[in-house]
């Protein structure tokens, strides 16, 4: 404190310095907090990216293997569909049961590894992202654009389409449930309102 400064003036200068220092510290804390939040966000993004890449790698690694096994699943499905279930031969019955158990176990292995079957029901709306129309035919049981029959089941692996379901689709004009009604003729605005004009126009002003 100089001789010219009073104690009050000196206290004011010290308070001003302290206030500036506090403001500087607040700015520094805000900057550090922002850096910490950014670092946390980057770490979270890195974690998510690593998880996504890991899932992608896993999916791509088994995709070819899964696609190769689809033929096996198709053959087992055909075998069970065409098996003589009314056979009285115990050997044939046991054989059919074994094939069905094998198909069921293979289906379970698919599901456990993220490979899901795409098997639309009759009448389900055709989805170009999951289905492939191999034929189109008129139907009185399914509305236009609906699935009539599944010719070959499709599969998707962890949300990625491995093979679309091959389906027959109801053609335009099909009259199954849900089909739009045929438009009916509305009232003729030029028809007579009940008075018989004889077909002549009234030319009176």
Q: What confidence tens digit (pLDDT) does each residue in 150-182 have?
A: 999 999 988 889 999 999 999 998 887 766 555
Q: What confidence tens digit (pLDDT) does each residue in 95-149 have?
A: 999 999 999 999 999 988 888 999 999 999 999 999 999 999 999 999 999 999 9
**Count of Cβ atoms closer than 10 Å to residue 124 Cβ:** 16
Residue 189 CA: distances (Å) to CA of 182, 195, 198: 21, 14, 17
Residue 3 CA: distances (Å) to CA of 8, 10, 106, 194: 13, 11, 98, 118
User: In terms of pLDDT, which residue wins out, 1 or 36?
Assistant: 36
Nearest CA among 150, 155, 149, 154 for reference residue 165: 154
- From CA 81, how far away is CA 205, in angstroms rounded? 82
Global pTM value: 0.57
**Count of Cβ atoms closer than 10 Å to residue 70 Cβ:** 18
């Amino acid at each position: 404190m100089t001789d010219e400064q009073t104690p009050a003036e000196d206290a004011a200068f010290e308070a001003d310095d302290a206030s500036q220092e506090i403001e500087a510290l607040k700015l520094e804390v805000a900057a550090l907090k922002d850096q910490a939040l950014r670092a946390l966000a980057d770490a979270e993004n890195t974690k998510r990216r690593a998880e996504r890449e890991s899932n992608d790698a896993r999916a791509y690694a088994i995709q070819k293997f899964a696609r190769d096994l689809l033929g096996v699943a198709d053959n087992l499905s055909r075998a069970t569909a065409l098996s003589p279930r009314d056979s009285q031969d115990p050997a044939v019955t046991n054989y059919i049961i074994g094939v069905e158990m094998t198909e069921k176990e293979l289906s379970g292995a698919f599901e456990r590894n993220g490979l899901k079957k795409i098997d639309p029901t009759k009448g389900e709306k055709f989805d170009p992202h999951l289905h492939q129309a191999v034929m189109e035919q008129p139907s009185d049981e399914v509305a236009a654009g609906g699935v009539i029959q599944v010719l070959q089941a499709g599969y998707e692996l962890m949300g990625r389409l491995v093979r679309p379901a091959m389906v027959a689709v109801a053609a335009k004009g099909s009259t199954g449930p849900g089909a739009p009604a045929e438009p009916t003729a509305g009232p003729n605005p030029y028809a007579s309102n009940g008075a018989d004009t004889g077909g002549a126009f009234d030319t009176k002003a």
